[in-house]
Structures are given as C-alpha cells and as structure tokens.
Chains A and B, each alone.
Chain A
Amino acid sequence: MQRAIAALTSRLVIVVPYLWLLAFFLVPFIIVFKISLSTTAIAMPPYEPVMTLSNGIGAFFAQFRDLHFDNYAWLGGDPLYMRAYLSSVVIAAISTFLALLIGFPVAYGMARAPATLRPTLLMLVILPFWTSFLIRVYAWIGILKPEGLLNQFLLFTGIIDTPLVILNTHTAIFIGIVYSYLPFMILPLYASLEKMDYSLIEAANDLGCPPISAFWKITFPLALPGVIAGCLLVFIPAVGEFVIPDLLGGSQTLMIGKTLWNEFFANRDWPVASAVAIILLLLLVVPIMFFQQAQARAQEQGK
C-alpha cells in the first residue's frame, strides 16, 4: 500500500507536467497544421472547419479529399514570402555573428575578472534580461531616430554634419537583436570560459605557442559548447522575431515574424498565418534539435 502510494506520487510528478506540455505545446502545433490546410472564411473563427469528428467517422475520412494545400502553394507562388523567410534567416545569422563578436570579449573579460567581482558582473549581465524586452527595444527608438540622441550627439561633436538615417533600416534591426539577445550569448560563453583552466594557456605559451595562436588552439575549442549554445539561443528566436523588426525596422522590412503577425491581425487570414508558422517551424526544427541535444549534454555533464 505504502509502495503503491509512493509509486503513484512518482507517477504524478511525471504525468502532470507531461500532460500539460502535451496539451498546451504539442497539440496546438497539430491544430496549427490542421488550420493551415483550411481556407479563410468570413466567420468566427475565420476559417472553414477541417477534419472534424462531428459528422461521424465515415465523414471524417471523407474530409481528406477536402484538404487544401492551397495555402502552401500560395506561399510558394508568392516571392514575397520566400524573400521574407530568406531575409529573416540572413538577418538572424548576421545578428548572431555580431552578438558573438561583441559577446565573446565581454564573456572572456568576465571569466578572467577577479573571482570576487565575477558574481556582480554576472548579475549585471542578467539584470537587463529581467527588464522588459519591449522597453529595451523601445529605448532604441529615441536613440536611433533622425532627431534622436545618437544623431544629436554626433552632430554636436562634429563627427557628421547631416543626421544619419538608422531607424527603419536593417542596421537598426541588427542593433536591436544584438542588444536584446546579448545576455543569451554572454551567459553560456561565460559558463564555458569560466570553467576553463587558465594554466592550459600558460602551458601552451610555455610550449612555444604565442597568445593569439593559443586562443584559437586552446581557448576557442574549449569554449565551443558555449559558442554553439549562445548562437542557437540568439539565432532561433531571432528568425521569428516580431517586436524588433516592427518597432525598429519600419514598414519596408521583411521578416517572417512580422509577416505572420500581419496575416493574422491585419488580414485576418488565419489559415495562411498557420501555413507561415508551419514552414517557419520546419525551418527551425534542425537548429532546435541541435539546441535540445546541447542542453541534454550540458545536463549530463552537470551530473
């Protein structure tokens, strides 16, 4: 009896969060896929019902004939969507690279800081993450716009004589993504750099390897798990980013997150929005699986 209760509680520990995630994470994807095969309708919800069980099993199977892949054909036929996917990936990739370029020296500097200072530095990296994403993006509008603080400063110091146009360009999106996701890059980098034994570098130097070469031969390979984790943490969400291109990129920017949002909220075309989401998901499945494996490995090593 005691054993049975113990077994039941241990079962509950798994079953409760499992069911929750199945119901609210996995099942919704299936529904998204289902709706993506529907057509838009002027109704609430604004799509034709698909694959319902309400008319019995026979009718259920008959419905297979009515499935529309039109939405996917539509996405494939319109170069706008393809360009949006492509430019999302390119923008995310460039931003990820820039974030790595900025994040690495910072993480390296933190890892080599005096041990007493490190917790404070770490907290300073985490703190912006706790403040609202929206607010942090919003803050850049005031800085980047033509009469904004950056231009005022540059004009004042005489570096430029006509205001730079940054807001509503790709540059603004790069700045926004790098800025917002920098802590996600720094944290895993720092975690792997801090674990590194610095006598390894000394040993390399001692064996005749100059510092720059030692960096590429010792430091970087050892930090690689952190580099991979950091890049995935920035790249994956950046591809589907909505707020940054919307607020900083202006109307001309083409990013798929924004396209999805517009299809859904402006055009109220739920089936097309669903198809956009499904393609985006397929695009990200490989990096997401990489990320999960990296997480699982890190977890194993933690033990």
Chain B
Amino acid sequence: MNSLGSIRRSFAPWTDPSAKPYIEFRNVTKRFGDFTAVNDLSLSIYEREFFALLGASGCGKSTLLRMLAGFEEPTSGSILLDGQDLRGIPPYRRPVNMMFQSYALFPHMTVEQNIAFGLKQDGMAKVEIEQRVAEMLKLVKLSQFAKRKPHQLSGGQRQRVALARAVAKRPKVLLLDEPLGALDKKLREETQFELMDLQQKLGLTFVVVTHDQEEAMTMADRIAILDKGEVMQVATPAEVYEAPGSRFVAGFVGTVNIFEGKVSAREGVAATIMTDGGVIRSENASDATVGSDVAFAIRPEKIKVSSKEPAPGIDNAMQGEVYDIAYLGDMTVYHVKLPSGQVVRASALNAARVTEDPLTWDDTAWISFRPDAGVILTR
C-alpha cells in the first residue's frame, strides 16, 4: 500500500495546465422529453485517473456514464475521448467498456464464455482469446470457476467476473456503474482496495458512478459532485471535505454545521461574520465581500466542547446547553443547543476511557473552534 500511496500523491495532471484531458464533456446537455437530466455540463478527466461521479439518484451521473458508453446521445454538446468526438459512434464501436450495476452477466454462458464474449466480437484468434481469458481469470482469482455459470457464483465472485469481462478488451476507459452497490458492507470495503490495485496494475482510466460518498472518497483521485444535472464541484477527496465549494457540497459529503450570517469585515484571507449564534472569525474567506450573505461551514470534529468558558473574550466561542449525546464507541457526538435555537454537532474522539471533562444532558457547555477550522461559503 505504501508504494501505491506515494504514486497517488505525485499523480495530479489536473494541476498541470499543459496536460491534455483524456475525456472531455463539452457543454453537454441531455433531455428526456421535458426532463433535463444533464444541463450544459463540462468536465475533464485525465488519462489513468480514477474519477468518481458522486450524487444522489436522479442527479444525472448515470446518464453521463451511459452517454460515454454510447447508450444515450447528448441532446447538445460533445463528448471527446482521446481527442476523438464520440458523437454517432454506436456502443459496440467505442473503445470503452462498462461494468454494469446488475453485472449483466449472460446467464446462459459460463464464466469463461462471458469473459471471452467481447474478445470474440473483435475477431481475435482463438488461442489468443484463451490466453487472455486465462490471464483475466487469474487477475480476479477465479481460475477454478472458469466452467461455472453465473448462478453458481456468489455475489462477490459475480462482481469479479463482470470486472474481468469489462477489462478483458483492454478498453481505453473502464466505466463502473455502482460497482460495489450489490455487495455487503464488509466485502465492499475489501473490494474497494482490490479495484484501486487493479486500476494501478492495468494503468487504465476508471470512471465510477456512485451514490456512496465513502466509496468515492476512498477510491477516487478526483470526485465530481453532481446535483440536478450540474457539476457542483470537482476536486480531490480532501479538498471536497476540507474546502467544499458550496453549501450543497458541504452538506452532501460528511456531516457539517452551517451558520448563516453577513460579512461585517474583511482583512486579507480572513473575514468576520455576524451570525444569530454570535460573531465568527474565519481565515478561509474565499470571495466573500463585506455586506454579503454567506454561510460558515464547520465539521463536527473541528469543534471543541467544554463545560468551562475557554478564555474570556476569545474569538469563535459560544455558550449553549447539551441537548443530546450520542456515544458511538470511537467518539462521542454532542448536540449543543445555542440560545438562537440552532443545534450544533460537535464530536470528540474518545482517546481515553474516561473523559476528564464529563458533560451530561442539560449541562451548560461552551463550543469553540480555531479561525482556520471552517470555511466561508458564498454559494
């Protein structure tokens, strides 16, 4: 894992202005009757990238994938793969392959025949097909299941057959539609790492569609967060979490506390905001201007809870009362109700078995955070 991690760290073509995108969506719009599934969307994906399209159902992520595969044509705009416009090319002529959510394994064919299917369509020589199939079976550790039919396999095995079948043709891009959706939680975690490993080994570009933020965060180099057919943000998992670009993204990925307020002062990267809960000073002001309505977003783990006032006159400290406590084992989540009525979530890691500062229901509590802990959102 270590070597893999170091490769990942140095891999960031999107920061290089001279790098050419491998897949490009240019002002793509897709309408189904009156319904607009994708709305004037532009997106660049780079070669060898593990790219995730994340969003709730109906956000247009699957439509994007299906347009890339060729099952749908854009209503307007164009899609380019390796510089070639894909418009008008039917799915069976596109150098991309897809792993289907339902796996779509042919029930009347054996594992071997399923994997060989795509190769046969290319008219590959029989010997070569046999070699490639054997290689694929080995890759997904299913060599002893070659003669089985799909219904004779477990869910995890089926998933691997679907994967082997999709990569057997060495496509330029592998599309994965909710690749782990049908697996149970434990298997899903294992498979996440297998997929990442496979992508590194084959050096392929992966585009994965998922509604599971944890899955996207774990596997992807970059994530595109979609809502109502539009891209809300494209960034690395860390950026998405630490510096969400909008209220939607902040709320979609992980848990977040939002304080609505008005900017009263700006100096450099910092700004002061007047909120119902109190005055907040943040050092991540982005493009907020004085007098504008903004939101301050902060993650629960970045808020400290204590029974005593941290220090008189300190910035970013608010008094409230403990409204609810959820003990989750590894951490405890406090719900603190401010005089304004807003309930703030703050989590504390249970590093020791006994907390030195015990808080209980209805206690008066202070929440505080550092000026660089949250971000100001203008959208």
Contact = CB atoms under 8 A, between A and B. Distances in A.
A6 B93 CA distance: 13
Interface string B166-195: 000000000000000000000000000000
A303 to B, nearest CB: 16
A30 to B, nearest CB: 36
5 contacts: A2-B90, A2-B93, A3-B88, A3-B90, A6-B90
Nearest to B73: A3
Interface in A11-55: none
Q: Is chain A's binding surface mostly helix, strand, loop or mixed?
A: helix
Contacts of B90: 2-3, 6
Contacts of B88: 3
Contacts of B93: 2
A3 B89 CA distance: 8
B92 to A, nearest CB: 8
B85 to A, nearest CB: 15
Interface string B80-96: 00000000101001000
Interface string A63-95: 000000000000000000000000000000000
Interface residues of A, number: 3
Nearest to A6: B90
Nearest to A5: B90
Interface in B268-320: none
A2 B90 CA distance: 8
A2 B89 CA distance: 9
Q: Size class of B's contact patch?
A: under 10
A123 to B, nearest CB: 23
Nearest to B90: A2
A166 B88 CA distance: 72
Contacts of A6: 90
B67 to A, nearest CB: 16
Interface in B61-113: 88, 90, 93
A122 to B, nearest CB: 23
A3 to B, nearest CB: 6
A161 B88 CA distance: 85
A137 B88 CA distance: 60
Interface string B18-44: 000000000000000000000000000
A250 to B, nearest CB: 55
Nearest to B93: A2
Contacts of A2: 90, 93
Contacts of A3: 88, 90
Interface string B32-62: 0000000000000000000000000000000
Nearest to A2: B90
A9 to B, nearest CB: 12
B314 to A, nearest CB: 60
A105 to B, nearest CB: 38
A107 B295 CA distance: 63
A266 B88 CA distance: 64
A235 B88 CA distance: 52
A167 B57 CA distance: 66
A39 B90 CA distance: 59
A79 B93 CA distance: 71
A6 B90 CA distance: 10
A1 to B, nearest CB: 10
Interface in A192-232: none
A2 to B, nearest CB: 5
Nearest to B88: A3
A3 B88 CA distance: 8
B126 to A, nearest CB: 26
Closest 5 CB pairs of A and B: A2-B90, A3-B90, A3-B88, A6-B90, A2-B93
B69 to A, nearest CB: 15
A168 B63 CA distance: 67
A6 B89 CA distance: 12
A3 B93 CA distance: 11
A233 B88 CA distance: 47
A290 B219 CA distance: 55
A162 B34 CA distance: 76
Nearest to B89: A2
B102 to A, nearest CB: 16
A295 to B, nearest CB: 25
A6 B91 CA distance: 12
A262 to B, nearest CB: 53
A6 B88 CA distance: 12
B361 to A, nearest CB: 39
A119 B93 CA distance: 45
A2 B88 CA distance: 9
A180 B198 CA distance: 63
A87 B93 CA distance: 65
A6 B92 CA distance: 12
A232 to B, nearest CB: 33
A46 B90 CA distance: 58
Interface in B121-143: none
B87 to A, nearest CB: 11
A8 to B, nearest CB: 14
Interface in A163-199: none
A10 to B, nearest CB: 13
A2 B91 CA distance: 11
A55 B93 CA distance: 56
A135 B66 CA distance: 55
A214 to B, nearest CB: 38
B257 to A, nearest CB: 43
A34 B90 CA distance: 49
A6 B71 CA distance: 13
Interface string B147-163: 00000000000000000
